[in-house]
Amino acid sequence: MEHLLRHPASTIADQHETLDDIKAETDHLTELVDALLLLARADSGIIELERQPLELADATTTALEPLTGFAAERGVTIQLDARPTPAIGDALRIRQLITILVDNAIRHSPPGGTVSVHTQPSGDRAVVSVSDEGPGIRPEDLPRVFERFWRAPDAPSGGAGLGLSIARWIVERHGGTIEASSPIGGGARFEVSLPAR
């Protein structure tokens, strides 16, 4: 913005790159503030979740739609295997959970990589998993991936270390579990288990 103020005679076309940077940083700050507010409200216990019957496959499909452009920009393919999976929960928060996990997987995937997303029932649980083909998670980092503000030393730039802690909060408030693993051969895998309908 200071750059724009120093060049008042410039046109929008002249400053297109600067304006793109400003928009990107504004979006980043907005996401950061939203995440911090969500965690603060979660800590105070004032956020109520709606527990209603939902179809996990539909919620996952809806959550992926806004991410397809981001994945394409990075040369990453999203592969979805959405089997009918009845669940109970807050549809908005479940979509937010899926968005966090898939966005994270895209950011850690190399160009040409694939992010695999699966939903399936498993006994009395509804399961969704997200896997990527990135460098994976070091064994010593696995216990810390859900900590607030924690970021691995080799993490891609741009994050604040809040997404996975929000994902864990959403899962735990639904009476579910979330696990991170790094299979042999590379990549990271996150598996969420929620109460089934």
Are residues 147 and 93 part of one domain?
A: yes
Are residues 101 and 150 part of one domain?
A: yes
Are residues 90 and 139 part of one domain?
A: yes
- Parallel, antiparallel or unpaired: strands 86-89 and 77-82: unpaired
Question: Of 47, 63, 81, which residue constitutes the final position of a domain?
Answer: 47
Number of domains in the chain: 2
Q: Is 139 left (phi over 0), alpha (psi -120 to 50) or beta?
A: alpha
pTM confidence score = 0.80
| 163 φ/ψ angles, rounded to the nearest 5 degrees | -55, -50
Are residues 172 and 92 part of one domain?
A: yes
Determine the structural domain holding residue 33 and report its residue range: 1-47
Are residues 74 and 34 part of one domain?
A: no
Are residues 109 and 75 part of one domain?
A: yes
pLDDT one digit per residue (tens) for the chain, 197 residues: 787 788 888 888 888 788 877 777 776 677 667 766 677 776 777 777 788 999 999 999 999 999 999 999 999 999 999 999 999 999 989 999 999 999 999 999 999 999 999 999 999 999 999 999 998 888 888 888 898 877 776 666 666 678 898 899 999 999 999 999 998 778 999 999 999 87
Are residues 153 and 183 part of one domain?
A: yes
Are residues 62 and 127 part of one domain?
A: yes
CATH number, domain at 119? 3.30.565.10
